[in-house]
Protein backbone atom coordinates (compact mmCIF):
# COMPACT_ATOMS: atom_id res chain seq x y z
CA UNK A 1 0.00 0.00 0.00
CA UNK A 2 1.35 3.42 -0.95
CA UNK A 3 1.33 5.04 2.47
CA UNK A 4 4.03 6.53 4.68
CA UNK A 5 3.78 4.53 7.89
CA UNK A 6 6.13 6.91 9.64
CA UNK A 7 2.98 8.96 10.22
CA UNK A 8 1.89 6.22 12.64
CA UNK A 9 5.27 5.92 14.36
CA UNK A 10 5.89 7.57 17.73
CA UNK A 11 9.10 9.57 17.64
CA UNK A 12 11.56 9.50 20.51
CA UNK A 13 10.37 12.01 23.11
CA UNK A 14 7.11 12.78 21.30
CA UNK A 15 4.25 13.99 23.49
CA UNK A 16 1.33 11.60 23.02
CA UNK A 17 -2.36 12.37 23.33
CA UNK A 18 -4.37 9.46 21.96
CA UNK A 19 -7.24 11.79 21.10
CA UNK A 20 -4.97 13.04 18.32
CA UNK A 21 -4.76 9.55 16.79
CA UNK A 22 -7.53 8.14 14.62
CA UNK A 23 -9.11 4.81 15.50
CA UNK A 24 -11.12 4.38 12.29
CA UNK A 25 -8.98 5.89 9.51
CA UNK A 26 -8.21 3.64 6.54
CA UNK A 27 -6.31 6.26 4.51
CA UNK A 28 -8.29 5.60 1.35
CA UNK A 29 -7.93 1.81 1.40
CA UNK A 30 -11.18 -0.11 1.01
CA UNK A 31 -11.91 -3.62 2.20
CA UNK A 32 -11.48 -5.25 -1.23
CA UNK A 33 -8.09 -3.57 -1.80
CA UNK A 34 -7.02 -4.55 1.69
CA UNK A 35 -7.89 -8.20 1.14
CA UNK A 36 -5.76 -8.28 -2.01
CA UNK A 37 -2.88 -6.48 -0.29
CA UNK A 38 -2.99 -8.85 2.68
CA UNK A 39 -2.72 -11.84 0.33
CA UNK A 40 0.24 -10.28 -1.50
CA UNK A 41 1.92 -9.55 1.83
CA UNK A 42 1.43 -13.14 2.97
CA UNK A 43 3.23 -14.41 -0.14
CA UNK A 44 6.05 -11.85 0.14
CA UNK A 45 6.51 -12.50 3.83
CA UNK A 46 6.76 -16.27 3.28
CA UNK A 47 9.65 -15.75 0.82
CA UNK A 48 11.44 -13.20 2.97
CA UNK A 49 11.06 -15.32 6.10
CA UNK A 50 12.96 -18.15 4.41
CA UNK A 51 15.83 -15.79 3.56
CA UNK A 52 15.65 -14.27 7.07
CA UNK A 53 16.01 -17.76 8.56
CA UNK A 54 18.85 -18.73 6.21
CA UNK A 55 20.72 -15.46 6.75
CA UNK A 56 20.78 -16.30 10.49
CA UNK A 57 22.07 -12.94 11.71
CA UNK A 58 18.91 -11.31 13.04
CA UNK A 59 15.79 -12.28 14.94
CA UNK A 60 12.50 -10.40 15.05
CA UNK A 61 10.36 -9.59 18.08
CA UNK A 62 6.85 -8.33 17.29
CA UNK A 63 4.91 -6.85 20.20
CA UNK A 64 1.14 -6.44 20.05
CA UNK A 65 -0.54 -4.35 22.75
CA UNK A 66 -4.15 -3.26 22.80
CA UNK A 67 -7.33 -3.05 24.76
CA UNK A 68 -9.61 -6.07 24.84
CA UNK A 69 -11.24 -6.97 21.50
CA UNK A 70 -8.93 -4.68 19.50
CA UNK A 71 -8.02 -7.48 17.07
CA UNK A 72 -4.61 -8.81 18.11
CA UNK A 73 -5.52 -12.45 17.44
CA UNK A 74 -6.92 -11.55 14.03
CA UNK A 75 -3.70 -9.75 13.10
CA UNK A 76 -1.67 -12.84 13.96
CA UNK A 77 -4.05 -15.15 12.13
CA UNK A 78 -4.19 -13.11 8.92
CA UNK A 79 -0.84 -11.36 8.64
CA UNK A 80 1.31 -14.33 9.66
CA UNK A 81 -0.68 -17.10 7.98
CA UNK A 82 1.99 -17.71 5.33
CA UNK A 83 4.83 -18.02 7.81
CA UNK A 84 6.57 -21.38 8.24
CA UNK A 85 5.52 -22.46 11.76
CA UNK A 86 9.05 -23.74 12.39
CA UNK A 87 10.32 -20.18 12.14
CA UNK A 88 7.78 -18.41 14.34
CA UNK A 89 6.62 -18.64 17.95
CA UNK A 90 3.75 -16.88 19.69
CA UNK A 91 3.53 -16.26 23.42
CA UNK A 92 0.72 -14.66 25.39
CA UNK A 93 1.24 -13.26 28.86
CA UNK A 94 -1.53 -13.33 31.42
CA UNK A 95 -1.27 -12.67 35.15
CA UNK A 96 2.14 -13.87 36.37
CA UNK A 97 2.30 -17.25 38.08
CA UNK A 98 3.66 -17.79 41.59
CA UNK A 99 6.98 -18.93 40.13
CA UNK A 100 7.18 -15.92 37.80
CA UNK A 101 6.60 -13.59 40.74
CA UNK A 102 9.74 -15.04 42.32
CA UNK A 103 11.74 -13.28 39.59
CA UNK A 104 11.99 -9.77 38.18
CA UNK A 105 9.20 -8.71 35.83
CA UNK A 106 11.26 -9.25 32.65
CA UNK A 107 12.31 -12.81 33.47
CA UNK A 108 9.38 -14.64 31.88
CA UNK A 109 9.74 -12.61 28.70
CA UNK A 110 13.47 -13.12 28.44
CA UNK A 111 12.95 -16.90 28.47
CA UNK A 112 11.07 -16.88 25.15
CA UNK A 113 13.09 -14.38 23.13
CA UNK A 114 13.68 -15.48 19.52
CA UNK A 115 16.82 -17.26 18.36
CA UNK A 116 18.64 -15.91 15.31
CA UNK A 117 16.55 -16.43 12.20
CA UNK A 118 13.35 -16.74 14.23
CA UNK A 119 10.26 -14.56 14.66
CA UNK A 120 8.64 -14.21 18.08
CA UNK A 121 5.25 -12.58 18.62
CA UNK A 122 4.28 -11.30 22.05
CA UNK A 123 0.48 -11.15 22.28
CA UNK A 124 0.57 -8.76 25.20
CA UNK A 125 4.03 -8.41 26.65
CA UNK A 126 6.33 -6.94 29.28
CA UNK A 127 4.35 -3.72 28.75
CA UNK A 128 1.57 -5.14 30.89
CA UNK A 129 3.93 -4.20 33.72
CA UNK A 130 3.41 -0.50 32.99
CA UNK A 131 -0.25 -0.80 31.96
CA UNK A 132 -2.25 -3.19 34.15
CA UNK A 133 0.01 -2.51 37.11
CA UNK A 134 -0.03 1.25 36.48
CA UNK A 135 -3.83 1.29 36.60
CA UNK A 136 -3.91 -1.23 39.46
CA UNK A 137 -0.73 -0.47 41.48
CA UNK A 138 -1.75 -2.83 44.27
CA UNK A 139 -0.54 -5.64 41.96
CA UNK A 140 3.03 -4.39 42.39
CA UNK A 141 2.93 -5.46 46.04
CA UNK A 142 2.78 -9.08 44.84
CA UNK A 143 6.23 -8.66 43.27
CA UNK A 144 7.76 -8.06 46.71
CA UNK A 145 10.29 -5.51 45.46
CA UNK A 146 12.41 -4.07 48.29
CA UNK A 147 11.38 -0.52 49.22
CA UNK A 148 8.05 -0.84 47.36
CA UNK A 149 5.95 -2.77 49.82
CA UNK A 150 3.06 -0.30 50.03
CA UNK A 151 1.01 1.46 47.36
CA UNK A 152 2.08 4.85 48.73
CA UNK A 153 5.71 4.07 47.81
CA UNK A 154 4.85 3.26 44.18
CA UNK A 155 5.44 6.76 42.94
CA UNK A 156 6.60 8.53 39.78
CA UNK A 157 10.18 7.51 40.46
CA UNK A 158 9.14 3.84 40.51
CA UNK A 159 7.54 4.08 37.05
CA UNK A 160 10.51 5.97 35.63
CA UNK A 161 12.76 3.12 36.77
CA UNK A 162 10.44 0.59 35.18
CA UNK A 163 10.44 2.45 31.84
CA UNK A 164 14.23 2.65 32.06
CA UNK A 165 14.45 -1.11 32.63
CA UNK A 166 12.30 -1.76 29.56
CA UNK A 167 14.31 0.65 27.40
CA UNK A 168 17.61 -0.88 28.50
CA UNK A 169 16.24 -4.37 27.87
CA UNK A 170 15.15 -3.52 24.33
CA UNK A 171 18.31 -1.57 23.52
CA UNK A 172 20.39 -4.56 24.62
CA UNK A 173 18.33 -6.86 22.39
CA UNK A 174 18.72 -4.54 19.39
CA UNK A 175 22.48 -4.30 19.88
CA UNK A 176 22.62 -8.10 19.74
CA UNK A 177 20.67 -8.54 16.53
CA UNK A 178 17.04 -8.61 17.68
CA UNK A 179 14.88 -6.27 15.63
CA UNK A 180 11.80 -5.04 17.49
CA UNK A 181 8.49 -3.77 16.13
CA UNK A 182 5.79 -2.65 18.57
CA UNK A 183 2.17 -2.13 17.56
CA UNK A 184 -0.55 -0.51 19.65
CA UNK A 185 -3.93 -1.34 18.12
CA UNK A 186 -5.93 1.79 18.80
CA UNK A 187 -9.61 0.83 19.06
CA UNK A 188 -12.40 3.23 20.02
CA UNK A 189 -14.61 2.72 23.04
CA UNK A 190 -17.70 2.43 20.84
CA UNK A 191 -16.13 -0.18 18.56
CA UNK A 192 -14.93 -2.18 21.56
CA UNK A 193 -18.49 -2.14 22.90
CA UNK A 194 -19.79 -3.59 19.62
CA UNK A 195 -17.17 -6.33 19.59
CA UNK A 196 -17.78 -7.28 23.22
CA UNK A 197 -21.52 -7.49 22.54
CA UNK A 198 -20.85 -9.74 19.54
CA UNK A 199 -18.95 -12.09 21.85
CA UNK A 200 -21.98 -12.25 24.12
CA UNK A 201 -24.52 -12.62 21.31
CA UNK A 202 -22.65 -15.34 19.40
CA UNK A 203 -22.52 -18.65 21.35
CA UNK A 204 -19.38 -19.63 19.42
CA UNK A 205 -17.65 -16.51 20.75
CA UNK A 206 -18.85 -16.71 24.36
CA UNK A 207 -15.57 -18.25 25.41
CA UNK A 208 -13.77 -15.05 24.36
CA UNK A 209 -15.74 -12.91 26.78
CA UNK A 210 -14.57 -12.32 30.33
CA UNK A 211 -16.08 -10.16 33.04
CA UNK A 212 -12.55 -8.77 33.43
CA UNK A 213 -13.14 -7.04 30.09
CA UNK A 214 -15.82 -4.90 31.74
CA UNK A 215 -13.54 -4.12 34.68
CA UNK A 216 -10.87 -2.80 32.32
CA UNK A 217 -13.50 -0.95 30.28
CA UNK A 218 -14.65 0.86 33.41
CA UNK A 219 -11.04 2.04 33.78
CA UNK A 220 -10.89 3.36 30.20
CA UNK A 221 -9.60 6.81 31.13
CA UNK A 222 -6.92 5.41 33.45
CA UNK A 223 -5.72 3.02 30.75
CA UNK A 224 -5.74 5.84 28.21
CA UNK A 225 -3.24 7.77 30.34
CA UNK A 226 -1.14 4.66 30.93
CA UNK A 227 -0.95 3.93 27.20
CA UNK A 228 0.00 7.53 26.43
CA UNK A 229 2.82 7.52 28.95
CA UNK A 230 4.01 4.09 27.76
CA UNK A 231 4.19 5.33 24.17
CA UNK A 232 5.99 8.53 25.19
CA UNK A 233 8.57 6.84 27.39
CA UNK A 234 9.43 3.71 25.38
CA UNK A 235 9.39 4.50 21.65
CA UNK A 236 12.90 4.68 20.19
CA UNK A 237 14.53 4.09 16.82
CA UNK A 238 15.77 0.73 18.03
CA UNK A 239 12.28 -0.31 19.20
CA UNK A 240 9.59 1.97 17.73
CA UNK A 241 5.91 2.07 18.59
CA UNK A 242 3.30 2.34 15.85
CA UNK A 243 -0.23 3.49 16.74
CA UNK A 244 -2.45 1.51 14.36
CA UNK A 245 -6.10 2.53 13.77
CA UNK A 246 -7.97 -0.64 14.71
CA UNK A 247 -11.70 0.04 14.23
CA UNK A 248 -11.37 -1.24 10.65
CA UNK A 249 -9.69 -4.59 11.11
CA UNK A 250 -8.67 -4.83 7.47
CA UNK A 251 -6.58 -1.65 7.67
CA UNK A 252 -4.78 -2.79 10.83
CA UNK A 253 -3.85 -6.07 9.12
CA UNK A 254 -2.59 -4.35 5.97
CA UNK A 255 -0.60 -1.76 7.92
CA UNK A 256 1.14 -4.24 10.20
CA UNK A 257 1.95 -6.55 7.30
CA UNK A 258 3.44 -3.68 5.29
CA UNK A 259 5.57 -2.48 8.22
CA UNK A 260 6.95 -5.97 8.87
CA UNK A 261 7.81 -6.35 5.18
CA UNK A 262 9.55 -2.97 5.16
CA UNK A 263 11.71 -4.08 8.07
CA UNK A 264 12.71 -7.32 6.35
CA UNK A 265 13.59 -5.41 3.17
CA UNK A 266 15.82 -3.03 5.16
CA UNK A 267 18.03 -5.83 6.52
CA UNK A 268 19.93 -6.70 3.30
CA UNK A 269 19.30 -10.39 3.80
CA UNK A 270 21.33 -13.02 1.95
CA UNK A 271 21.31 -16.76 1.57
CA UNK A 272 24.53 -18.32 2.89
CA UNK A 273 27.19 -19.24 0.30
CA UNK A 274 26.45 -22.43 -1.60
CA UNK A 275 28.99 -25.15 -2.29
CA UNK A 276 31.23 -24.57 -5.29
CA UNK A 277 29.79 -25.31 -8.76
CA UNK A 278 32.33 -28.14 -9.10
CA UNK A 279 31.12 -29.85 -5.92
CA UNK A 280 27.47 -29.35 -6.89
CA UNK A 281 28.10 -30.90 -10.31
CA UNK A 282 29.91 -33.84 -8.73
CA UNK A 283 26.98 -34.34 -6.34
CA UNK A 284 24.61 -34.27 -9.31
CA UNK A 285 26.59 -37.00 -11.06
CA UNK A 286 26.62 -39.19 -7.96
CA UNK A 287 22.87 -38.83 -7.45
CA UNK A 288 22.00 -39.38 -11.10
CA UNK A 289 24.17 -42.50 -11.30
CA UNK A 290 22.72 -44.17 -8.19
Q: Report the CATH number of the 5-288 domain.
A: 3.40.50.300
Of 285, 198, 206, 190, nearest to 247 by C-alpha is: 190
Structure confidence at residue 1 (pLDDT):
64
| Buried b / exposed e along 21-59 (16+ C-beta atoms within 10 A) | bbbeebbebeeeebeebbeebbebbeebbbebbebeebb
Query: Strand, coil or helix: what is 71?
Result: coil
Write the CB contacts of 234 (distance below 8 Å, at least 6 apart in sequence).
127, 130, 163, 166, 167, 170, 182, 241
Rg of the chain over Cα atoms, rounded to whole angstroms, equals 21
Structure confidence at residue 249 (pLDDT):
96
Residue ranges, the chain, pLDDT below 70: 1
220: Cα separation from own chain's centroid: 21
What CA–CA distance (Å, rounded) separates 11 from 229? 13
Write the CB contacts of 232 (distance below 8 Å, at least 6 apart in sequence).
10, 13, 14, 15, 16
Find the helix packing angle between 156-175 and 220-234, rounded to 10°: 50
What CA–CA distance (Å, rounded) separates 76 from 243? 17
The model's pTM is 0.94
Amino acid sequence: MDFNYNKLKIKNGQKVNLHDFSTNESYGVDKKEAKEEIQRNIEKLAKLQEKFYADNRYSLLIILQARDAAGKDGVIRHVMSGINPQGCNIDSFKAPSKKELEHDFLWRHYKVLPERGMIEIFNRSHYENVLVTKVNPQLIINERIPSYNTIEKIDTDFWEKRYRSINNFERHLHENGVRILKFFLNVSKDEQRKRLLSRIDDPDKNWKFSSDDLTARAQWHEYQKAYEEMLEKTSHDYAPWYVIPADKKYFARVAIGDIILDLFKSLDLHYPPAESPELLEKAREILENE
